[in-house]
């Protein structure tokens, strides 16, 4: 049989208290283990229902103590968005920040490598031609520089294939002086062998 009462005394640090019965005003001992597991801890002033059992000292004790107050409150509107976030979002955020950092590092590294290769190619062109392509030299010095020993005048431009060459001398000049020339497939230093022989 279930009885009604009010918690009139509760020692939370010790885990026990007393219920004053509604029907006769007697105080009945109860322990936290007699309350629902995982529920909110009891507090004075709560109206509860309980069963009576005989205790070892010959008195009665409350058993199977229940109240609506023991149930956790339904979640309402959170005070802040931070309070309702699941625990895994902080891990996900850290993982995302780490990924963003790695991507940024990769982008900076790629940009640095590109700048390094640009200056390396520019230095190579400077060593080959004597003047970097970004600095324009006077037309007279270009003509003098590009005169091969045979006296024919050639100049580096966008042409890179044998089909664009008019002579073996021009192909030899392009292969030796113009970057990106694709005229020596077998790498023997002789350009356009099918077109011009040798």
Alpha carbons 31 and 17: distance in angstroms, whole number: 7
pLDDT value at residue 40? 84
pLDDT value at residue 80? 53
Alpha carbons 59 and 87: distance in angstroms, whole number: 47
Average pLDDT of the chain to the nearest whole number: 79
Among residues of the chain, what percentage have pLDDT more than 70?
77
Tally the C-alpha atoms within 13 A of residue 130's C-alpha that lie toward its C-beta: 7
Residue pLDDT, tens place only, 102-153: 899 999 999 988 888 888 877 777 666 655 544 444 444 433 344 445 555 7
Q: What are the residue ranges spanned by the domains of the chain? A: 2-70, 139-196
Residue pLDDT, tens place only, 92-105: 778 888 888 889 99
Query: Nearest 10 degrees: CA dihedral of 64, 68, 69, 73?
Result: 130
Please give the model's pTM, rounded to 2 decimal places.
0.37
The yes-or-no verdict on residue 5 having pLDDT over 50 is yes
Name which of 143, 168, 167 is nearest 156 in CA terms. 143
pLDDT value at residue 47? 92
Q: How confident is the model at residue 185 (pLDDT cuts 50, 70, 90)?
A: confident
pLDDT value at residue 79? 52
Could you give the C-alpha distances from 17 to 43, 68, 140, in angstroms and in order?
A: 9, 18, 107
Q: How confident is the model at residue 29 (pLDDT cuts 50, 70, 90)?
A: very high
16-21/2-11 β-pairing? antiparallel
The yes-or-no verdict on residue 170 having pLDDT over 80 is yes
Residue 162: Cβ-neighbour burial (10 angstroms; 0-12, 13-18, 19+): buried
pLDDT value at residue 7? 92
Type and span of the H or E element at 31: strand 27-31
Residue 28: Cβ-neighbour burial (10 angstroms; 0-12, 13-18, 19+): buried
Looking at 3.30.565.10, 2.60.40.1250, 3.30.470.20, 2.40.50.140, the CATH number of the domain 2-70 comes to 2.40.50.140
């Amino acid at each position: 049989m279930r009885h009604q009462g009010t918690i009139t005394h509760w020692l939370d640090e010790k885990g026990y208290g007393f219920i004053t019965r509604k029907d006769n005003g007697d105080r009945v001992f109860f322990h936290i283990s007699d309350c629902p597991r995982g529920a909110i801890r009891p507090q004075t002033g709560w109206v509860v229902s309980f069963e009576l059992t005989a205790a070892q000292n010959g008195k009665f004790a409350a058993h199977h103590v229940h109240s609506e107050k023991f149930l956790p409150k339904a979640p309402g509107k959170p005070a802040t968005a931070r309070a309702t976030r699941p625990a895994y979002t902080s891990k996900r955020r850290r993982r995302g920040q780490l990924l963003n950092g790695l991507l940024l590092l990769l982008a900076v590294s790629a940009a640095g490598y590109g700048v390094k290769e640009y200056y390396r190619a520019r230095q190579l062109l400077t060593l080959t031609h004597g003047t970097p392509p970004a600095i324009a030299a006077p037309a007279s010095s270009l003509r003098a520089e590009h005169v091969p020993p045979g006296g024919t005048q050639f100049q580096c431009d966008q042409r890179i294939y044998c089909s664009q060459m008019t002579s073996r001398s021009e192909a030899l000049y392009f292969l030796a002086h113009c970057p990106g020339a694709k005229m020596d497939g077998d790498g023997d230093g002789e350009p356009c062998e099918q077109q011009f022989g040798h």
